[in-house]
Amino acid sequence: MRLPDNTAGQRLDFVLSELTEHSRAHIQKMLKDGDIQLDQQTVKPSYRVFGGEHVTIPELIIQPTALQPEEIALDILFEDEYLLIVNKPVGMVVHPSHGHDSGTLVHALLHHCPDLPGINGVERPGIVHRLDKDTSGSLVVAKTEAAHHGLSQLFSTHDIQREYLAWCKGAPPWHEQRIESMIGRHPQHRQKMAVLSEHSKRGRWAITDARREQVFDSGFSRMRLTLHTGRTHQIRVHLAHEHIPVLGDAVYARAFTPAKHQPKILCDVLLALKRQALHAEVLGFIHPITGEPIRSQAPLPDDLQQLNNALQMVHDDIKYDGIV
């Protein structure tokens, strides 16, 4: 393959991912492994091309997976021959990892889409992004290599509409705010992420648009968050940093016990909440193959619907008592 002249100055990994059906991550791996040669030499993924170079690149080979399909029901919000959007339930891990070698979304997808093996590697077929185990909501999966490449590009350029709902302890003094910071590994607790100095070399810039959707008189709020980047635990870290941690968050919020004066209906719901009250409601993008505008909206799961109902009921009672 000869690189077009108009690619001059661009990174080699980006150029090759644009010119082939390989994902950028796959291109980077092949470059690091020496499987791709530029003018018969190995180069780094960050190499800036001049245009006109000759590239030797292996053909795309679909690799088999050792994972066994599992017949697990999926709540599918959208599907065509190229991709699907699922409403991931709380408690489901997206892909296999240490301690989670069965019952994952990938295992369910392999049963639903037998042709998925090989897409984006062996262990994570079709996965473009992920949600934490205890976050529910919309998640898009590629069914072909071309769709995976296109979706990956949309995520890398932040051309994906991602809106989350979060129920928080406390309420911010502002109605809308863009939260921008560096996020990276916590310097003392490696399992956590943290807001770092903006000059830190260990973090990555993260941007979240936050809107206060409702303040409940019981001391809680419902927030709508729009992601412009996709850092690990981004929303949870940003809200905790703003002193409005997500209810039920065992990592970024202090242990919480409802106050004795709270009505029983609210106390019961709060005590029954066993996960962070965070839901990926809206996922919107331009279909990378058909060009069709896609917008999915995942309905609230029962636990968050009950939480919202209880907060609203208590709020309305307080308001009514105040008027009387």
What are 143-181's pLDDT values in tens digits? 988 898 899 889 988 899 999 999 999 999 999 999 999
Residue 278 bridge partners (DSSP): 166
Name the pLDDT band for 324 (thresholds 50, 70, 90). very low
Classified by CATH at the fold level, domain 76-156 comes out as Pseudouridine synthase (3.30.2350)
Q: pLDDT (tens digit, 9 = 90+) per residue, 247-305?
A: 999 999 988 788 888 899 999 999 999 999 999 999 999 999 999 999 999 999 999 99
- Phi, psi angles (nearest 5°) of residue 117: -50, 135
Strand, helix or coil for residue 303: helix
Residue range(s) of every CATH 3.30.2350.10 domain in the chain: 76-156, 161-284+293-323
227-230 long-range Cβ contacts below 8 angstroms, 24+ apart? 227/162, 227/164, 228/158, 229/158, 229/204, 229/205, 230/129, 230/155, 230/162
Cβ-contact 317, 263 below 8 angstroms = yes
Q: Which residues contact 105 (CB under 8 A, 6 or more apart)?
A: 86, 88, 92, 93, 94, 95, 127, 139, 141
Helix runs in 88-227, H state only:
105-112, 145-156
pLDDT at 221 over 60: yes
pLDDT at 120: 56
Q: Which two tokens stand for residue 83?
A: 């991709």
Select 5-56's CATH number: 3.10.290.10, 3.40.50.1000, 3.40.50.11750, 3.40.50.1980.
3.10.290.10
* Residue 217 annotated among the catalytic residues of the structure: no
Average pLDDT, the chain: 89
Architecture label for domain 161-284+293-323: 2-Layer Sandwich (3.30)
Residue of higher predicted confidence among 127 and 170: 170
Catalytic residue among 13, 132, 134, 249: 132
Residue span(s) of the chain under CATH 3.10.290.10 come to: 5-56
Distance of CA 189 to the CA centre of its chain: 22
